[in-house]
C-alpha cells in the first residue's frame, strides 16, 4: 500500500488495509514530508494499533527518522526540525551516517548537542540496520555490512558498534 499525501492518509479504506498486518514498513524519502503526511491521520492510527497489537514496525532512512520525535530538514539544514511520529521519542536517528558528512556536515553535531536528557542519538551507516527484538525500543542489535554509532554532544563520532547487542539509552 502506498500513501502519497494527507488526503490518502486520512482514507478509511486505506487505514482498513493495515488491520492484521504483520509488518508495517516506512520507506525513505523526505522525513519531514513523511511525518507531516501521516501524523494524526487514520492511516497512522491504524499503523499504531497494528504495532501495539504485535506487528513489526520498521523504517529505513526517512522512515527511521520519522518514527522519532525529532525530524530534521535533511535537505535544507537551516530549516528547523519538526515533530516526528513519536514511536521512539527518546531516540534520534541519523541514517546514511557514513556518507552524511559530505551533504550535511553539521547534522550529527546539531542532533547530539540539542538532544534532551535521556535521548540517544544513533548514526547508522549505509547497508546497516539496528533491530530491537524486545519491542521496548531501547536495546538494539546491529546487523549489516557496516556500523551504528552512539553519539553525544562531547564526541564528534561517538562509539561504533558493528555486531551484537548494545543499549540505546538504558
**CB count, 10 Å around CB of 56?**
14
Tell me the C-alpha distance between 161 and 112, whole Å. Answer: 17
| pLDDT at residue number 154 | 53
Report the sign of the C-alpha dihedral through residues 23, 24, 28, 31, in that order. Answer: negative
**Paired residues of 120 in beta bridges:** 91
Tell me the C-alpha distance between 108 and 123, whole Å. Answer: 8
* 53-108 pLDDT, tens digit each: 999 999 999 999 999 999 998 878 778 999 999 999 999 999 999 998 788 878 88
Question: Smallest Cα–Cα separation from 108: which of 117, 98, 116, 118?
Answer: 98
| pLDDT at residue number 77 | 73
* 106-157 pLDDT, tens digit each: 888 888 888 899 898 999 999 999 998 787 777 889 999 999 998 876 544 4
Q: Cell 554532544, residue?
A: 153
* 20-49 pLDDT, tens digit each: 999 999 999 999 999 999 999 999 999 999
| pLDDT at residue number 94 | 93
Q: Cell 513489526, residue?
A: 56
* Residues recorded for the chain: 170
pTM passes above 0.85: yes
C-alpha cell belonging to residue 97: 551516517
Amino acid at each position: 500500500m502506498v500513501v502519497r499525501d494527507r488526503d490518502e492518509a486520512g482514507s478509511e479504506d486505506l487505514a482498513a488495509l493495515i488491520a492484521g498486518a504483520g509488518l508495517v514498513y516506512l520507506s525513505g524519502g523526505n522525513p519531514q514530508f513523511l511525518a507531516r503526511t501521516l501524523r494524526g491521520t487514520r492511516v497512522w492510527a491504524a499503523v499504531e494499533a497494528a504495532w501495539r497489537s504485535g506487528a513489526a514496525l520498521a523504517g529505513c532512512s526517512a522512515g527511521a527518522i520519522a518514527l522519532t520525535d525529532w525530524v530534521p530538514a535533511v535537505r535544507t539544514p537551516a530549516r528547523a526540525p519538526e515533530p516526528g511520529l513519536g514511536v521512539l521519542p527518546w531516540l534520534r536517528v541519523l541514517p546514511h551516517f557514513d556518507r552524511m558528512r559530505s551533504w550535511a556536515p553539521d547534522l550529527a553535531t546539531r542532533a547530539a548537542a540539542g538532544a534532551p536528557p535521556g535521548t540517544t542519538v544513533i548514526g547508522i551507516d549505509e547497508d546497516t540496520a539496528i533491530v530491537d527484538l524486545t519491542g521496548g525500543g531501547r536495546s538494539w542489535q546491529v546487523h549489516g555490512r557496516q556500523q551504528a554509532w552512539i553519539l553525544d554532544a562531547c564526541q564528534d563520532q561517538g562509539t561504533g558498534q558493528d555486531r551484537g547487542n548494545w543499549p540505546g539509552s538504558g
